[in-house]
Amino acid sequence: MDGPGPTQNQILEGEIARLEGRIAELSAGSAPLTLHDPYAAWHAAQRTTQHTNDPMQALSVFSASHRHLAPVLSLIDDSVRHFVQHATEFGFFLHIHRFLDKVFSSGSSHSNSLRILLNVIYLIGAKLSNNPQVQAQEQAYLTRALQHLPTALPEDPRGAIYVMQAEVILANYFFNNKRQLEGVYHTNAAVSIAMAAKLHMIRSARRSRTAADPSTYRLPAPVDTLEEGERINGFWTVFILDRCWAVASGSAPAFTDDESNGTQIDTPWPMDLVMYQSHPFPNDFRTTKTVQTFISGVDADANIAQQSMLAMQAKAAIMYEGATRLASRYNPSSQATFLSLDNRIERFKQALPRIDRFDPSRIDILRTALLVHTLAQCATIQLHSPIVQDRVTANSRTYQAAHAAVKTLRGVNVGILNCVNPFFGILWGTVGKVISQGMVTARQLRASGAGPAQGMPDERTLQAELGLLAMAMDQSAPFSPLMAAQIRTVRPSPSRTT
């Protein structure tokens, strides 16, 4: 019901504008990181009964698919168990073994930032749980996390990474729940922390122009190579979140990668966390223009199969967002730029390891590999959409990419897709739209008497592809309002041949 004060959306729109301004200030190397409570009015309107259970009392373990990381703890908490099974899908970038050790260390006091992160972990676990008693705690965990977020950073500088991790998970939670405005807010908050802490300049060959400014927010030096690795992987996780959902929301990414603004990204590509311990960077290792070098093609794709899944995902996100941005301003005079990016995307796709090369027992890796392939194919769809428009023939580059995306999907057991990265909803919706456009084109061509020589798509093939997409989306739709909404755009007609 409308009241005299601003609506929740108006509050969030104002806070997004404030955070975007904050990011611009950080780009110019100005003030230190400060956060105030953006939810004060929201809390007043949405206050709910608080539950007395404390997440710190029963943090737990590892699912069977994560048994290689640590022994199963004797007491398994339902909500955390569900979170750990799907942590990667919600952007968890910390070393989970070390994280749990810190939580369980005897006699240790826990910072506000750590408690916030635990509440967010319990939030996701409650959403994914099949236990009604655990599900009932979802709103309580969300309220508790949002109430304490604004006070976390000043008390615990090193805990900024925990807060950033919480913001990433919250962003994915809201996107998954089809609450895009709140998802954008938490994405921008994560970007704000990453930029304020200069995570875009880890091991940079350039000297920070604000290095001597005592007011600049700084993280303490990492205690070891693993902690440095968490920061590198945290940066790229936020980068991917920003790049992908900027496309979905029709906005520009917050990470501008602009040398003149001090936002040039120099941080090295991420590795698997275990690699930071077994194969650490040399002390004098430095990098520069990481993203720009990749786009230019100087950073060759020959060794991409040896890179981490997170690095592949970041590169696919770069292609996807770049293709969308170029397509939005496409005109014949930009043909050279268009062809250059098109060739770059094709080289990248060809270098990706096939889905059948991955260990089928590593479900988390399989889901990420599928995401990378789908992102890359959707980059082609985004780039060529202005040319193809709605007339999708069998020879259209958009259909060829959509067909390739479905072919990759066939390479996995859809049963592992019961919970996926929320952005799959956007990507599969895009693929489904192209296939649906192909069906319309096929019917138009058939009505005009055209045959296969005129590029008429095969309707039975298109129906089967839509059916497989719908089946995949059905797996996670019960836990994802976004997926449930997107599935309506790809659901094949009842008359399809079975």
- Number of folded domains that form the chain: 2
362 in the same domain as 251: no
273 domain residue, yes or no: no
162 in the same domain as 226: yes
Specify whether the CB–CB gap between 169 and 124 falls below 8 A: yes
Residue keyed to tokens 């055209």: 450
Tokens encoding 471: 């089946």
Determine the pLDDT at residue 13. Answer: 66
The span from the CA of 268 to the CA of 282, in Å, is 13
Residue that is last in its domain, among 233, 257, 281: 257
Specify whether the CB–CB gap between 285 and 203 falls below 8 A: yes
278 domain residue, yes or no: no
238 domain residue, yes or no: yes
341 in the same domain as 475: yes
289 domain residue, yes or no: no
**Residue 441: pLDDT band by 50, 70, 90 thresholds?**
confident
288 domain residue, yes or no: no
Determine the pLDDT at residue 110. Answer: 74
232 in the same domain as 316: no
380 in the same domain as 323: yes
183 in the same domain as 305: no
Which ranges of 54-179 does DSSP label H, i.e. alpha helix?
78-85, 96-104, 112-128, 132-135, 138-148, 152-155, 160-176
Among 152, 228, 213, 227, which residue's Cα sits nearest to residue 25? Answer: 213
164 in the same domain as 18: yes
The span from the CA of 50 to the CA of 44, in Å, is 14
pLDDT at 51 over 50: no
For 128-166, the pLDDT digits (tens) are 988 888 888 899 999 999 988 877 766 677 889 999 999
15 domain residue, yes or no: yes
Determine the 3-state secondary structure of 75 from DSSP: coil
Range of the domain at 332: 300-498
Determine the pLDDT at residue 195. Answer: 92
214 domain residue, yes or no: no
40 in the same domain as 102: yes
Alpha-carbon torsion, ordered 20, 41, 150, 141, to 10 deg: -110
Please, which residues bridge with residue 287 across strands?
Answer: 204
pTM, 2 dp? 0.85
266 domain residue, yes or no: no
338 in the same domain as 243: no
Among 366, 373, 422, which residue's Cα sits nearest to residue 402? Answer: 373
Specify whether the CB–CB gap between 152 and 40 falls below 8 A: no
> What's the maximum distance between 2 C-alpha atoms anywhere in the chain?
79
308 in the same domain as 249: no
For 5-45, the pLDDT digits (tens) are 666 566 666 666 666 666 666 655 544 444 433 334 434 43
Residues in the chain: 498
Lowest mean pLDDT among 36-50, 425-439, 453-467: 36-50
235 in the same domain as 307: no
249 in the same domain as 331: no
Determine the pLDDT at residue 215. Answer: 38
